[in-house]
Amino acid sequence: MNQHLFFLISIILLCSTVLFSQDQRIADSLKRQIVEDKGIDSNYLSQLSLIASYEQSPDSIEYYASKLIVLASSISNYSFLEDGYLHMGNAKKLNGDLDSSLIYYFLALKSPTSMVFEGRILSSIADVYSISGNSENALSYYDQAIHTLLQTNDTSALASVYSNKGDEYLIQEKYDSSLIYFLQSKELFASVKDELGEAFTLGNEGIAYAGLGEDNLAESKLNESIKLLEASENYYFISVYLTYLSDIYATKNQYKKSLKYANRSLELGQKYGLTEQISDASLVLSNLYTDMGDEVKALKYYKDHITFRDSLINLETVEQLANQRTEFEVAEKQFEVDLLEEQKKNQRLTIYGTLAGLGAMVLFAIGLFRRNRFIKATNKIIEAEKQKSDNLLLNILPSETAEELKQNGKVLAKRHEGVSVFFSDFVGFTKFSENLSPNEVVDQLDFYFSKFDTIVEKYGLEKIKTIGDAYMCVSGLHKEEPNHAKKIIIVAKEIQQFVADMKKEKAEGVPFDIRIGINSGPVVAGVVGHKKFAYDIWGDTVNMASRMESNSEVGRINISEYTFDLVKDEYDCYYHKDFVTKNGRAIKMYYLKD
């Protein structure tokens, strides 16, 4: 799936709990009206909760949420205590501290005061699991949230949950399923005249249609979304959708239109200081100019992408995601500090007030005891989620790259002078998949790619990514290895043999054939993005490996002359034709003999 899509959905989910209610002007107005020396009552707690609702800064939300939790606990007002937990969970989620966010959401869910509140909390929990990559838990909690909210009159909340569940299916590339929920969501947003909700749903509809190959529908929906977002001057998401439109036209080789949308995205990013989008648009333009053969412009925009990407790396957030630490001890100390401040204020009161304050402290101690008991019960949940997060990081990045990310907060791009790159593609897969359901298509790809992963891991190669039914891996990436070409051919032959064996065994099932292409040479490797990491490699060597695959034949392993020079003494190969590059250079291609 396109990296811009992952980034867009992550941002929408991160903001989904508070996206449609934040208004800094209202928050500032409430802060001017609040009177702090009138004592603690429901009116005062309500003002704190409203300020946390309308604040835009995660740090400010956390401050008022912490204060609300302390004061609501001190007078055993469990309704506002749950509000405080909800706001604290939102603040942690917006700051990227997903473990702590889950803890506070579960605290809020312990005894919900209404079905609307319960539905919103369940949806927030689902969003965190979705962002963390735990699809099974995300879908389970989305279903619970929908079941709960259907019993209420909160149309906006229900529309948001439908939209977010559609996003989860979009991440899994289950486009038909995602469209079902987007259509329900769009109808509900329209019924309450929520144009911003409609805009996001239309945009994601467009992405789903693009995934299904319905490019005209995709373009229409994305342009409708952009039109609504322009009316609300929401340029951040306009810029993201523009890069996605650019990708659609690039896949059609309509480079003029693709450049138009990518440049428009870049201009919006520069005009409104949207650093993430300047970085993303620069990368899109670099790839476009590479495909068009303009290496000078491609390099210029790639340097811009790297410059702005590196400026976005947030060391503190990366460390939190990598180490998955909770902040309960910090929260407890903050509670104690706030209570001491309240005690100083209460010293001016009469003896009756002092006794009342002591009583409040006793009640708070009881509340704290109950909370600590609940924390112990959730420790196993926290540890399990931490392990899942660590496994997710290792599943996304090579182990040494993940360790570098934990230690330094960033990963420096590295040039490797001698590697071999493998590309494969199933012949006729698109036609075959037309007769299967989306789930059956995914199951077939998972069966084959899981075996490919096993073979690649056995020989110490690095899997880079899958793109549809294409598979890419590389040999010799993480250490100087003179036999990188030999190892990748061993892997290629095992994969070729596995596919051939499966074709014989499944004579009545899946008659897959495979093409394989290999090229050797230098590459640049590094991590793309800072919200959802993607490890990738770039350079002419990669592009040439892809061309070797597309110029191969069914059941053949096609290697470039660069790979041939490295393995000709060990493998029988024969020349079959030249491949002419965009700059007119002829590259000899060889087939491995069976």
| Higher-confidence position of 159 and 410 | 159
> What mean pLDDT do residues 445-462 have?
92
> What mean pLDDT do residues 581-591 have?
87
Average pLDDT, the chain: 79
Query: What is residue 318's predicted lDDT score, i.e. its pLDDT?
Result: 38
Phi, psi of 314 (to 5 degrees): -110, 105
pLDDT at 509 over 60: no
Query: What is residue 158's predicted lDDT score, i.e. its pLDDT?
Result: 92
Q: With beta carbons less than 8 A apart as the criterion, state whether 241 and 225 touch.
A: yes
CATH number of 399-592: 3.30.70.1230
User: Start-end ranges of CATH 1.25.40.10 in the chain?
Assistant: 114-232
pLDDT at 452 over 90: yes
| Higher-confidence position of 121 and 315 | 121
What is the band of 478 on the pLDDT scale with cuts at 50, 70, 90? confident
Kindly report, residue by residue over 107-118, the tens digit of the pLDDT.
888 777 788 888
Kindly report, residue by residue over 557-567, the tens digit of the pLDDT.
999 999 999 99
CA angle 557, 563, 567 (to 5 degrees): 90
- d(C-alpha 515, C-alpha 140), whole Å: 39
SS3 155: helix
Q: Are strands 513-528 and 573-580 parallel, antiparallel or unpaired?
A: unpaired
Q: With beta carbons less than 8 A apart as the criterion, state whether 477 and 419 touch.
A: yes
Query: What is residue 332's predicted lDDT score, i.e. its pLDDT?
Result: 43
> What mean pLDDT do residues 476-493 have?
89
pLDDT at 162 over 50: yes
Query: What is residue 1's predicted lDDT score, i.e. its pLDDT?
Result: 46
pLDDT at 21 over 50: no
Query: What is residue 319's predicted lDDT score, i.e. its pLDDT?
Result: 40
> What mean pLDDT do residues 126-141 have?
88
Query: What is residue 362's predicted lDDT score, i.e. its pLDDT?
Result: 65
Query: What is residue 345's predicted lDDT score, i.e. its pLDDT?
Result: 55
- d(C-alpha 109, C-alpha 381), whole Å: 15
What percentage of residues in the chain have a pLDDT greater than 70?
74
What is the band of 22 on the pLDDT scale with cuts at 50, 70, 90? very low
Query: What is residue 376's predicted lDDT score, i.e. its pLDDT?
Result: 65
Could you tell me the sign of the dihedral formed by the alpha carbons of 322, 325, 330, 331, in that order? positive
Mean pLDDT lowest for which of 23-32, 38-47, 388-397, 577-586?
A: 23-32
Q: What DSSP string runs through 20-48?
A: TT--HHHHHHHHHH--TTS---HHHHHHH
- d(C-alpha 182, C-alpha 70), whole Å: 40
Q: With beta carbons less than 8 A apart as the criterion, state whether 391 and 284 touch.
A: no
CATH architecture for residues 253-312: Alpha Horseshoe (1.25)
Kindly report, residue by residue over 233-261, the tens digit of the pLDDT.
777 778 888 887 888 888 888 888 889 88
Beta strands in 497-548, from DSSP E residues, in sequence order? 513-528, 534-538
What is the band of 27 on the pLDDT scale with cuts at 50, 70, 90? low
E strand or H helix at 467: strand 462-467
Query: What is residue 356's predicted lDDT score, i.e. its pLDDT?
Result: 57
Query: What is residue 66's predicted lDDT score, i.e. its pLDDT?
Result: 85
The topology under which CATH files domain 114-232 is 1.25.40
pLDDT at 574 over 90: yes
Beta strands in 390-439, from DSSP E residues, in sequence order? 414-427
pLDDT at 37 over 70: no
- d(C-alpha 186, C-alpha 202), whole Å: 7
